[in-house]
Structures are given as structure tokens and as C-alpha cells.
């Protein structure tokens, strides 16, 4: 029996995947998505910092770091997406990150099992395996269809991307736990805030992208 929360999460993920596919065709849609993503992520991250830190100097440093990181992520994603080959790879990694999140949630809910860490009680070894499996399937299919190749390097790329997503997710889960909040917002049904949805992507895509230089 599929839980209500899982159904909502799957529906929301399907809509997000559809928007990603549309933005491949229509570049102006990508601009809107990145603006919404950037603004909400920055605002939500600042709300965490406000509850997490008390010393103004450390607040300032973390605010500057997160704002620059998120802004740079959006900026370089847009710039790189203007080059066809880089655009294909970026969207491949992006869809792999979405698949990582869905795979982790589905396998974690379905198989449950031992927990990975107390930082995020819902994270299980089964979920971690599901994340890697789903990411590997999506990135492999994407490479075969759009790039016309498949080898062991694609699987390594998938694993690195998925692990990056999971570490990014755990990092923000740690911040939220310290700040004593469950979700960064409620704009996305089944996910919480925008930052709850993209926390893994913020590390997953850079991890996968930079690993390309060593694998291909």
C-alpha cells in the first residue's frame, strides 16, 4: 500500500521532471525556474541561519557563503546550458539528482531497515541503495539516448552524483536539526520548501560535473 505522502511526493516529482524536460526545449523557462529556485533557496537558507547561529559575525559569514554558492550555482548552470554538449550533461545530472531523491524515498519507505545516522532519522541503507540505483538507471538511459555511449565510467559518474546528492541532503538536514525545524517551507506538497527539494542537487550536480574530468 502506497502512503499518501509517497503519492504526493511522486506526483510533485513528476511535475518537476516535466518542467525540466520543457526547459530543455524552452530556454526562457529555465531562466524562470532558476530565479524561483535561487530566490527561495536563499530566503529559506537565511531563515535556517537566523535560528541556527547567535553570533553576528558567524551569521554574516554563513549568509555570504550560501548566497554566493546558490547564486553561482544558478549562474553557471544557465551559462553552461547555452552550450549543447554541456547542456545535455547538466540536464542528465539534474534528472539523475531528482531520481536519487525519489529512489531514496521509495526504497526507504518500502524496505525501511537500519538507519544511517541520527542526523536524519528517515535515511536508511535501503534508501541510500535506492538512490544510487535510480540515479544509475536514469543517467545510463540518458547517456545511451542522447550521447550514444555507455561504459563503467557512466556508472561511476552515477554513484558519485548520487552520493553528492545524499551528502548535500544530510548537510542541510543537519542544519535544520540544529535549528530545530522540520522543513524550510511548505510551498511544495510532500517536500516542504524549495531548499528541501534541491538541497541534494546543490552538491550532486557539482560533484558529478567535476568528476567528468577524471572519468571521460
Q: What is the pTM of this model?
A: 0.85
What confidence tens digit (pLDDT) does each residue in 169-205 have? Answer: 998 888 888 888 877 777 766 566 788 778 899 999 9
What confidence tens digit (pLDDT) does each residue in 145-167 have? Answer: 888 888 899 999 999 999 999 99
DSSP secondary structure of 23-63:
HHH-HHHHHHHHHHHHHHHHHHHHHHHHHH--SHHHHHHHH
Q: Are 68 and 41 contacting, i.e. CB atoms less than 8 angstroms apart?
A: no
* Interval 88-112 mean pLDDT: 88
* Interval 39-53 mean pLDDT: 83
Residue 176 has phi, psi (to 5 degrees) of -65, -40
C-alpha cell at 167: 551528502
Q: What is the pLDDT of residue 157?
A: 95
Amino acid at each position: 500500500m502506497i502512503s499518501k505522502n509517497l503519492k504526493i511526493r511522486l506526483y510533485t516529482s513528476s511535475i518537476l521532471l516535466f518542467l525540466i524536460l520543457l526547459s530543455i526545449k524552452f530556454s526562457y523557462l529555465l531562466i524562470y525556474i532558476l530565479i524561483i529556485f535561487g530566490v527561495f533557496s536563499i530566503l529559506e537558507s537565511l531563515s535556517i541561519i537566523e535560528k541556527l547561529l547567535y553570533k553576528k559575525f558567524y551569521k554574516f559569514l554563513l549568509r555570504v557563503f550560501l548566497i554566493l554558492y546558490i547564486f553561482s550555482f544558478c549562474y553557471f548552470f544557465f551559462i553552461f546550458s547555452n552550450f549543447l554538449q554541456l547542456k545535455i550533461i547538466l540536464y542528465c545530472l539534474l534528472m539523475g539528482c531528482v531520481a536519487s531523491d525519489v529512489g531514496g524515498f521509495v526504497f526507504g519507505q518500502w524496505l525501511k531497515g537500519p538507519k544511517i545516522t541520527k542526523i536524519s532519522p528517515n535515511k536508511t541503507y535501503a534508501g541510500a541503495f535506492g538512490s544510487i540505483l535510480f540515479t544509475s538507471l536514469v543517467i545510463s538511459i540518458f547517456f545511451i539516448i542522447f550521447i550514444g555511449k555507455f561504459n563503467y565510467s557512466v556508472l561511476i559518474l552515477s554513484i558519485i552524483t548520487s552520493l553528492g546528492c545524499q551528502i548535500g541532503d544530510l548537510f542541510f538536514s543537519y542544519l535544520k536539526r540544529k535549528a530545530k525545524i522540520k522543513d524550510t517551507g511548505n510551498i511544495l506538497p510532500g517536500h516542504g520548501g524549495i531548499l528541501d527539494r534541491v538541497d541534494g542537487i546543490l552538491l550532486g550536480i557539482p560533484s558529478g560535473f567535476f568528476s567528468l574530468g577524471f572519468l571521460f
